[in-house]
Amino acid sequence: MMVKGASGIVAADVQTILDDVGTAMDSLRGTTLLVTGGSGFLCSYFVETIAALNARREGPPCRLIVVDNLRTGTASRLAHLADRADIQFVQQDVSAALDLGETVDWIIHGASIASPTFYRRYPLETIDANVTGTRRLLDLAREGVRSVLYLSTSEVYGDPDPAFVPTPEEYRGNVSCTGPRACYDESKRLAETLCTIYHQLYSVPVKIARPFNVYGPRQRLDDRRIIPDLMQCVLHRQNLVLYSDGRVTRAFCYISDAVRAFWRLLLSDANGEVFNVGNDEETSIQGLADTLSAVAAEVIGPPRLPVERRVSEDAQYLTDNPQRRCPDLRRLRGRFPWEPRVPLVEGLAQTLRSYLDVSP
């Protein structure tokens, strides 16, 4: 059954996620899941997955509590689920005391300011969400939960030594503690430390995921990350503008591939362990722009939009920008029957189609 109100592409992706995780999802039935940051891009897919699971009516529903302060998330993203009895939306900051008045069985902690433009604008709030917020959730988890998934980031590696690209989980990182990205990178690192300590001291069953550049439908076009920026250019039929020489690399992971991995981690016994989550198809930013230009010509029609380089007015725009980023996925692949399935070309086409669905 398709999720009511989710666009066709999102609904199909959610279906893929449910089918892939399969009967393991049944352990969520009759239990309560807390998702923080659920009104954001990535965590909204957890909400959609539960909405679709419950719509199947094959057993008791999973009760879902979504906590989000809407700092970068939007209520409109999940407005179609606002009246659902099985989902409760709580508008709150995770760094403040959280009194839910009930016990929870599962926690996915994804609340954070995640876009470089916004975490640089709100550095202290970013640290609060990642450090105080994570500690509060770990304290809640101490009361007795079945599993916790913490969404960390590939930014814990900073600008990795090229000898460690693709980057394995053991790599300790090359991170500035005073640079413009430090509020995010360092607070995510400390959050991982907190997770590890709570696992060691109190046996909190926490799993740490390090997502690498996840993209897809429903990412805000004004999010200021590279794919939304380039999508905006495409939607306005303008040149694709890069504010760099285009040589740095990233490995972009389509949303359904990442969320399939996240559910598997939450529902596993990998307590206290850390996993890279992403796609290891490394591409330069120039390559990304060229690919999107070709995809747009295919999806929308010619002409093919040129790629243009400019210098950002923001002097700090490229400071500490990682030069290469690509995950070593051997740990995830070795542990789970999981593989990224959506190549960049296909994921970009799906994402573009989703924006065209809602574009005038």
Ligand X SMILES: NC(=O)c1ccc[n+]([C@@H]2O[C@H](COP(=O)([O-])OP(=O)(O)OC[C@H]3O[C@@H](n4cnc5c(N)ncnc54)[C@H](O)[C@@H]3O)[C@@H](O)[C@H]2O)c1
Contacts with ligand X, residue ranges (CB under 6 A): 36-37, 39-43, 68-73, 93-95, 110-114, 129, 133, 151, 153-154, 211, 213-214
Would you say 129 or 348 has its CB closer to ligand X? Answer: 129
- Please, what is the minimum distance in Å from the beta carbon of residue 1 to ligand X? 25
Would you say 119 or 305 has its CB closer to ligand X? Answer: 119
Would you say 98 or 307 has its CB closer to ligand X? Answer: 98
Would you say 133 or 205 has its CB closer to ligand X? Answer: 133
Q: Are 271 and 199 in contact (CB under 8 A)?
A: yes
Residues with a known catalytic role:
184
Q: Are 216 and 255 in contact (CB under 8 A)?
A: yes
- Please, what is the minimum distance in Å from the beta carbon of residue 174 to ligand X? 17
Helix (H, G, I), strand (E, B) or coil at 201: helix
- Please, what is the minimum distance in Å from the beta carbon of residue 212 to ligand X? 7
Would you say 34 or 305 has its CB closer to ligand X? Answer: 34
Distance, CA of 35 to CA of 308 (rounded, Å): 40
Q: Are 110 and 42 in contact (CB under 8 A)?
A: yes
Q: Are 294 and 304 in contact (CB under 8 A)?
A: yes
Distance, CA of 54 to CA of 48 (rounded, Å): 10
Distance, CA of 61 to CA of 89 (rounded, Å): 16
- Please, what is the minimum distance in Å from the beta carbon of residue 43 to ligand X? 6
Contacts made by residues 8-11, CB under 8 angstroms, sequence distance 24+? 8/357, 9/217, 9/350, 9/353, 9/354, 9/357, 10/45, 10/48, 10/217, 10/218, 10/354, 11/48, 11/52
- Please, what is the minimum distance in Å from the beta carbon of residue 113 to ligand X? 5
> Which DSSP string do the residues of 101-113 spell out, in sequence order?
SS--SEEEE--S-
- For the chain, give the longest Cα–Cα distance: 60
| DSSP 8-state symbol, 323 | S
